[in-house]
Chain A
Amino acid sequence: MTFLEKQTDPTSPMHWRGDMQADYMYTSGVAGDRFFQNLKKRGTFLATRCPECKKVLFPPRLYCEDCFVEIPDKGWFEVPARGTIRSYTVVALDARGDKLPKPKVIALIDIEKTDGALLGIINTRNLDSDLTGKKVKAVLKPKTKREGTLKDILYFE
């Protein structure tokens, strides 16, 4: 009888384990490329200013997202790699749900002189106090080790 048949041998293959390949490559695009090449070579941030509404887009964009105006080359400028913490989360577990040896602080940082923000890791030992509004600056990898990705920013402190 079907309903009474039971598998009692735990070594029998009751599960099929598999691994799906889902590798991907995400190119940064024209504006993103310029931002990352600049980060790699000069260690600073780039932003773009919309000629129409004067909004400072960060991360830089080729088009203003509010007025759909193309941003000219002179709309690009350097901004300091500094900012203010708008919001943050203290992360105690990794992506698999295992406990991290040391909690990580991930924050949204309003970048100085721009209207945009960037997600980053905050290097702090003081987890008890409120970090919102704290001024932080980016700590980059040494120039030779930079690859032109967001990981070139080690953390903010």
Chain B
Amino acid sequence: MAKKEAYPKYAPGTHVSTKDIVNKKIAYTWWEPEVQYSWSLGPAMSRFLIELKNGKIVGRKCNTCRRVIVPPRMFCEHCFGPTDEWVTLKDTGTVETYSISYLDADARRIKDPILIGVISIDGAAPLHGFMHYFGDMKPEDLHIGMKVKAVWKPEKEREGAITDIKYFAPLKKKGGRKK
């Protein structure tokens, strides 16, 4: 621990450095609480994840509002009525909004930024979608309205999670590489 005189006047107190902790110079308690949860998915989200495992993106159609909702919901949030049918959608979409993060989940600075955003899936109603990562592109290329396509994990590695899609990559124009 530093000497008391070393503190700046505007910040009284005892300053502790990482060294003090690493060298166990000060007394402290470290605890890792077990915080486990089990979130009940319900029929819509369950089916969505099962189909992701099969390499498909599914939505629910509300016949009253004539809109397809993805991720699927059993109730339409516009007319409050039950949704009517399952729709298999393409794995392509449009960037609705995005973020370029130079901080990781632990708020550490990183060199290669994490690209994330909301993708509205083709065939579903516009102006809504789900969040995912972007890849195979430079941060400066990412823009709103960009056409993207899902890059899936190999079938064996899929486990029924949103991460069964690795990321969304720019959609190649016709004549380019297809799937």
Contacts and interface: CB of A to CB of B under 8 A. Distances in A.
A51 interface: no
Q: Main secondary structure on chain A at its contact with chain B?
A: mixed
Contacts of A25: 21, 28-31
Contact of B41 (A16, A22, A28, A150): A16
Interface residues of A, number: 35
A27 B27 contact: yes
B23 interface: no
B176 interface: no
Contacts, number: 90
Interface in A15-36: 15-30, 32-33, 35-36
A101 interface: no
A112 B40 CA distance: 53
Contact of A1 (B31, B32, B50, B82): B82
Interface of B: 1, 14, 16, 21, 24, 26-41, 43, 46, 49-50, 74-75, 82-83, 160
Interface of A: 1-3, 5-7, 12-30, 32-33, 35-37, 40, 147-150
Given A21-B32, A40-B27, 8 more contacts: A1-B82, A3-B82, A13-B46, A22-B32, A23-B30, A26-B31, A28-B28, A147-B24
